Structures are given as structure tokens and as C-alpha cells.
Chains A and B, each alone.
Chain A
């Protein structure tokens, strides 16, 4: 199942670096899949994905899909932006608690102030140079 994909006709303002390990995450995201790593020893998820488990330090991990659903824990609109984001300002950001039990921070796609604790879905922004994830109210 693919996440909703929004095409953006420009490169990302501040692209993430990709490692031999995280390229799997960004590659999957480009195709509309939101994945992370799970510890095969203690079975806990982590985000961002890591080549080890931060909870028990086991190196035995596997990739697993995330539900792509969550609740908005908090949000803000940034008006005073760093130089590379100035053309985008003001823009909305937020903290999302995923149904999988993980907390992430990301862009929020929403014109009006969203209600906190309301459900959101993870979306993919497919820029000219690669993907970023985001969230929007359901």
C-alpha cells in the first residue's frame, strides 16, 4: 500500500544526507512506503531507523513498514526562517505520535490550524531531487 504522494516541482531546500544504511529508508519513501527498523531481540521499533537497537544495543534489526497513521501532538507555524527556507515561510511543522508508538517531527500540510490530538496521515512529498515525508489531517 502506498502513502499519498504529492509531487513538488523543485529540489528540497535542505536535503538529508543518505548513508549506505539509510538509503533503504529514503528509497522506500520515494516509492510511497514509510519504513523503519525493529529490533529482533527486544522487538522494539525505533525512528529514525538505526543499524542497532537504541533500547538494548542489539545489532540484530530488521526493516518493517509503519502504519502511516498517527495523532498530532503539537504544531507551530514558522515565520522567521533560516536563509534556505525563507522562500517557503511561513510554513507549518508539527510533532506526530504514530499509531506504532513512535514520535516524529515533520512538516504539516494544512491551511487552517489543526486540532491537537486529532488523527493525521503520513504523506510523501516527492521533490525533484528526492523525497521528504510529511503529515496532514485525516
Chain B
């Protein structure tokens, strides 16, 4: 019989710019940062280090000097493991898949306690240089990259199509950025916490039309450690925890665009993965108390909220504008501040979604607490939502 997976503890670095310039006299080193979080997360979980059986790391950025980071960390922490030690890579979904790796070891009974953890340091590299690498991650290196597409330019084309099809507007989409900044203002680990207005968002320089600086993700460093355990372990500890109630994954078999013309902004992968996760959890979208979705740009949050069934097609932007996705609204989305304001250390971003959900479902989110939060959803993606990984999570007190 497979085991039920729970999340029992977490620790996260405040998202921001931490990476030192290569010639700085002292460096902030990834393994020192992460080891500190591992100890903190295990204290939060109330578990002894000897119970850990698996370490599933998100792959660090290529700018991290220490290679084979996962096995290096097993040494640094002196952690013999009988489950597995691995580093996972899956574009924007990297940390989601690392979470899956840790979950699977528990589900299969290979480990009773597994850490899903990682660090993403990249801000010492300029955006223009970083894009020399990231432009080759989204699309076809020979048939797309030569035209100068960047990762967020695909989302910008989603925005243009959404505005065209549903008579929406940049203003309506930009309301998502204002909402997310408000949420981030209440989150001590968010990168940008100063409140902004719709006028502020619209006054920013354009990055990829129709999106400006505040409607796209910042560059960020971050690090997270999550403690997963089988439910018997979680029960024995006696603290509130989060149970994974449903999970869905779908890759549409396309990369950025489908060569057979389709409805690009329906986000078929999120629709399909969402249906699977809801069915496994035995709940419907209207029962979800809050959602933490991977949405680099404002438009993506709108599209994925529609694809997951939180809004009818074409209503996602209006729903954000009307405050339905704000704290206190019908379905609060990205109470952490989302990728625009909490920040986007890409390879660990989905870990931060679980950190937020763990805070919310254990009722430890202070000023940004969703009242009586019991059921939550996370969603990770890659490409232009060509693949989605959805989890439905439940509070256990």
C-alpha cells in the first residue's frame, strides 16, 4: 500500500539579491545558506536528522561554482541516505519535480522523511547575459531563438491574444501586479514590499509589449528546504501539518507553441493536470480556499486561474480587477505576493509556493492569513504552460 505524503516543516531565505559579484572579497555561498535552512526546517518539523532518508535537490544555476551540489551537500551535512540523493532539472518546474521526487520516495516507502530543497543564485549575472542562456530554454534554438524570443516574450504574446479575444486591456491585467504587491507587503520573505498603484504599474518601462517592468518577474536569489514525511511520522510528531490530497501532471507534447494551431491561451496542460488533481483529491475548484500558482507575468496568473476553474474563460482578468483574488476575496491567489513581488528565483520558485501554503494551512501567515484556510492548490509549469504540475493540499490540525 502506498504511503500518504505530508509536509511537516519548511525554512526559506528571504527572496532578494544575495549573490555577490565574482570579485567581491566575501561571498554568500549557496551551501552555507542551504545548510542553515535544513537545520531550521528540521526544527520546524520537530524531527531528528537521523530520520531523513532522501534528499531531492533542485539543480542550482550554472553560476553556482560547486558542481554536483546535491552529493556535496550530503557530505556537508553528513547525511547518509538509504532512499535517494538526486538533483532534479525541469525548467520552471524544477522545484515542483524535486518536490515530486521527495514525495515519491515516501509514497513508495523508500523513506519516511525526505527533504525537497535547493538554492537558486543568479543575480550577480546581468539580465542581458542571463538571457543569452534563458533564450535557449524556451523555443527551438534553430527555428525560434534566431529571431530574439526571450522566455517572457511568449507570455507577452499570450497577453496580446487575451486582450484581443476577450476585449480585455493592459490595465485590467496590470491589476494583478497591484494585488500581488499588496500581498507581498504582508510577507516578510517577499522581495518587493512597498505598495504600488495601478498608475505606478502602467508608468513602468515596457519590457515585452504589452507588459512593463512590474508585470514581469524580477531577477531573484532564493533558497528553500521543505520537510516531507509519511503520515504516520507526521501524526507522531503531533504538530499541525499539510497532507497531499491530490496531484496531477500533464505535458501537452509541445514546446512554446503547438505546430498544429490550437487555443494557446486555454493552457490545456493546466486544465488537464488540474482535473486530475481535483479528481484524486475528491474536491472541486470552488472548495479551494487559496491557490499559489506559478505565474511569472500578470497574464499567466489570469490564464491559469481560468484553466484551473477558478474563473470562467475570459473572466480571470476582471476577477483580479474586482478584488476576488485579493486576500479576503472569493479565492485569494498568490498570497505570498506571487512571482512579480515575492520574487522569482526560478529553479526554487515552486518550493516557495509550498512554503506559503504550509504557512497558510498551519494558520501561521499572520497578517496575510486566509481565514479558516483548509484546502489549497499549488501549480508549477514550464515553457508557455506546456506542462503543468498541480497539487491539492489539505490542513491537518
- Interface residues in chain A, defined as those with a beta carbon under 8 Å from any beta carbon in chain B: 12-17, 22, 46-48, 54, 73-86, 88-91, 93-95, 97, 101-107, 116-117, 132, 134
Contact = CB atoms under 8 A, between A and B. Distances in A.
- Smallest CB-CB A-B distances: 6 pairs: A82-B131, A16-B142, A76-B156, A74-B157, A77-B209, A85-B148
Given A16-B146, A83-B132, A77 B208 contact: yes
A73 B143 CA distance: 18
A95 B148 contact: no
Contact of A80 (B127, B132, B210, B261): B127
Nearest to B147: A107
Contacts of A74: 157-158, 160-161, 164, 264
Q: Which of B140, B146, B257, B261 has most chain A Cβ within 10 Å?
A: B146
Contact of B259 (A84, A102, A107): A102
8 contacts: A15-B146, A16-B145, A78-B148, A78-B149, A82-B150, A83-B128, A95-B257, A102-B259
Contacts of B207: 79-80
B330 to A, nearest CB: 30
B82 interface: no
Contact of B146 (A80, A116, A132): A132
Name the residue among A17, A75, A82 with the largest chain B CB count within 10 angstroms.
A82
B258 interface: yes
Contacts of B209: 76-79
B146 A12 contact: yes
Contacts of A15: 146
Given A74-B158, A116-B164, A82 B259 contact: no
A77 B142 contact: no
B147 A93 contact: yes
Contacts of A103: 257-262
B206 A79 contact: yes
Contact of B129 (A22, A54, A80, A83): A83
> Which residue of B129, B208, B261 has the most chain A CB atoms within 10 A of its CB atom?
B261
Interface in B170-218: 205-210
Contacts of A91: 148
Nearest to B143: A48
Given A16-B143, A48-B140, A132-B147, A80 B260 contact: no
B160 A106 contact: no
A77 B134 CA distance: 18
Given A48-B143, A73-B261, A74-B264, A93 B149 contact: yes
A105 B257 contact: yes
B132 A94 contact: no
Interface of B: 127-129, 131-132, 134-135, 139-150, 153, 156-161, 164, 205-210, 256-262, 264
Contacts of B148: 13-14, 78, 81-82, 85, 88-89, 91, 93, 107
Contact of B208 (A54, A76, A94): A76
Given A80-B207, A82-B135, A88-B148, 12 more contacts: A15-B146, A16-B141, A74-B161, A74-B264, A76-B156, A78-B148, A82-B132, A93-B153, A93-B157, A95-B257, A103-B262, A104-B257
Contacts of A105: 139, 144, 147, 149, 256-257
B129 to A, nearest CB: 6
A95 to B, nearest CB: 6
A77 B206 contact: yes
A132 B139 CA distance: 16
Contacts of A78: 148-150, 153, 156, 208-209
B142 A22 contact: yes
A79 to B, nearest CB: 5
A81 B257 contact: no
A82 B146 CA distance: 11
A79 B208 contact: yes
Contacts of A84: 132
A117 to B, nearest CB: 7
Contacts of B142: 16-17, 22, 48
Contact of B264 (A46, A95, A102): A95
Contacts of A77: 206, 208-209
B206 A14 contact: no
Contacts of B264: 73-74, 95
A12 B209 CA distance: 23
B90 to A, nearest CB: 22
A138 B146 CA distance: 23
Contacts of A85: 148
Contacts of A86: 128
In this complex, the member of A85, A97, A134 whose beta carbon has the largest number of chain B beta carbons within 10 angstroms is A85
Contacts of B150: 78, 80-82
Given A80-B150, A82-B135, A105-B144, A116 B208 contact: no
